Amino acid sequence: MSEYLQPPAGTLTTSLAALAAGVQPATIRDWVRRGILTRCGGSPLRPLYRVEDVQAARTAAKPRSGKTKAA
């Protein structure tokens, strides 16, 4: 059972953050490892993320179209 039934206002659990960003929970954890997203509280096993930070991470993590590799 989770630590809380509903996260505090303005925050999301990993699962809810993934749902909001349209990605898998593993992607949310990857964004944290890569420094794209920062936890704002919770516990080590049940972190919380700010809604604004999740949306910013979603935008920052999108691949840029038309990008070519230098030869």
Which residue has better confidence, 65 or 21? 21
Position 71 pLDDT exceeds 80:
no
DSSP-based three-state secondary structure for 42: strand
**Alpha carbon of 59 to those of 6, 12, 14, 28, 37: distances in Å?**
25, 17, 17, 13, 11
Q: CA–CA separation, 71 vs 55, rounded Å?
A: 34
Q: What mean pLDDT comes out for the span 38-50?
A: 94
Position 1 pLDDT exceeds 90:
no
Position 36 pLDDT exceeds 50:
yes
Q: CA–CA separation, 17 vs 25, rounded Å?
A: 8
The Cβ-side half-sphere exposure at 66, using a 13 Å CA radius, reads 0
The pLDDT of residue 65 is: 62
The pLDDT of residue 48 is: 97
Provide the whole-model pTM: 0.78
